[in-house]
Structure 1
Amino acid sequence: MRRVRKKEHIENYLKTSYRGDTLLGDVFISHNSLPDLNFDEIDTSTEFLGKKINNPIMINAMTGGSDFSQEINKDLATLAKELGIPMAVGSETIALEDSESEKSFRVVREIVGPEGIVIANLSGLASLEEAKKAIEIVDGDAIQLHLNMAQELVMEEGDREFKGVLNNIESIAKGIDKPLIIKEVGFGVSYEVGKKLYDSGVRYLDISGYGGTNFIEIENLRSHEVDFSELYSWGIPTAASLVQCRKLPDDMKLVASGGIRNSMDIVKSLVLGADIAAISGELLAYLVHGGYANAKDYLESNLYKMRVLMMLLGKGNIEELKKTDYKLTGKLKEII
């Protein structure tokens, strides 16, 4: 059943039509006409999970568990290796239940090699032993535990019991010897939730805000009982979630995801306080519709435009970029 559902998720993502607003457009950053900088001096490298990466982006969790998704993961892993960026695999729950599915996840580490960053993935409801197994399957540098309550509630066969998730997260954080990343799946993280996670020992948070992949719509396309379309606008926009969670202590590393589609989104996310930005749905569309070369061109062109924006801001490296002044406007200003 999970194997079929994974394929349906990919197919339904490509059918989705609703597009929410991340509110990143309400972030104003000012042009610098006189930067004391040469374009070829711009350094986009940074550190993530204790390793140096070439660019401040990562390929976020998408899929795994079938031959179809294995081919997608091969291409994504090759992109990660060539561009020197991290990659998170999709939920490994299916691999815990069916050992045949493990190969669709293991292929990622095989391609990126020991020097690359691979991130395991399970639900926040997973046990400590399951988390350890998921890390082992991909030789993970870290593990994402995803919070997908909104998706589960719309899914006909989804979970309905969520008591004890925070205690479970704390137990896993203490029980593994790798970093733990808590990840929403497209509905954003508030400051209050971020603070609870921080107090539980979490030091990496993927806010995954509203404005990107909409799992309420994806699951609604699978549902034949209840129409959930009125809930498509549910969630905390990515920019609002990011500003709120940046109020957490500095040692809480933030991943900005949820509607990150282009170079401006990446730059504004870093300016708002993200340590790295993550792309998933948009990249998947380029890959499925146009193949590997199309997906590579999409990433490379946006990384080049990111450097252009850094030049226009007069910022020579990622740490300087993160200190850029900004102003909030429109709806984002009202929310904050």
Structure 2
Amino acid sequence: MSRVSLAWLFPASRRIDEFTNRELKKFYEEAFRKGVISREEAMAELKKALRHKTDFVTALKISIPVNWRSSISYKFWKKKGEKPGLSTIIETLRDRRMYELAATFAIALKSGDIRDEAFDEKDFVKPEEYDFKIRTADNLEKLVNERAEKIHRKGFAERYFKGREEVFNYELKDLKYSELFRRGEYDKILSLYEDLKETWHGKTAGIGERVVSLTLFESGLLDEEPEACEAIIRYQWAITNIWMWSDEIKDLASNLREGSINILLVECLRRGLEKTNVDSVFSFISRNPRVLDEPVQEYVELTKKIEEKLKTYPWINFKDYVEGAGIVFSKLEERKRKLLKTVKS
């Protein structure tokens, strides 16, 4: 959040953390009080949940306030003809429903990330460590289910559960591709490239897409302006794909050491890479630096196209979206420079 005009997101981010932490503490205190879980287990799980960090939670602390502000701006514009300004920021920061929604998503993302972490580490940790993480993820998921049905507007839970099931199915497919990669079946992976790409979209940008859609639904804007919301959702889907691609660049070296699948590595294989050891991959990227740019261009072009459409809505807080995207673009360039420096050294 380096841009001055996005400074209003700092207090929103702090309060989202406060809401999330309070809900986690309340949940475990109640579980212990009811005898569902021992005090020791409750404290251990709570500690894990509070400390667990995921990039998706950082992203939603930008995405949810920005999209919620659009719903506030629409109401101000419809009622008074006002364009987005300080009054819409103040009203957004005061709206408890936004923080409740963000807390629900933050807990859901922690649950999913802890579960993924457990799956990734299953073959390398003690069984009791694996079981602990799975129990933690299960309990956090239980809390999210309760919140989806009790706190949010009618229809939210059904949409949330459907979206979660869709993402889960993509995650299962991703596990199959990870296994193919571990077995060195690169030709088979390449023959299924389009499906692999859809799977990658579904388990990464698909999460962001559903968070945005549910935010616009919860705020009521989706009911009022479905066409504009469709553009917002698609825009943030494209931006999330750019962010996820920069993550693939950042994680390449560690993925190579671990023998884990990485979409950048798959793109290298498509362009003629023959061996997947670190030296071979780095040498290939050094000779073919465009592999860092070409796969992401479709998303960059899509964002530019949708920005033209977003400009046509006088009530959309356009600068928030564009400057938020600018942070993602800057991060991508930074990670590209860092990797190119590494592969050429």
Fold shared by both chains (TM-score > 0.5): no
* TM value normalised by structure 1: 0.29
- Which protein is bigger by CA-based radius of gyration? 2
Q: Normalized per residue, which structure has more strand?
A: 1
Structure of greater relative contact order (alpha carbons < 8 Å, 6+ residues apart): 1
* TM value normalised by structure 2: 0.29
Q: Normalized per residue, which structure has more helix?
A: 2
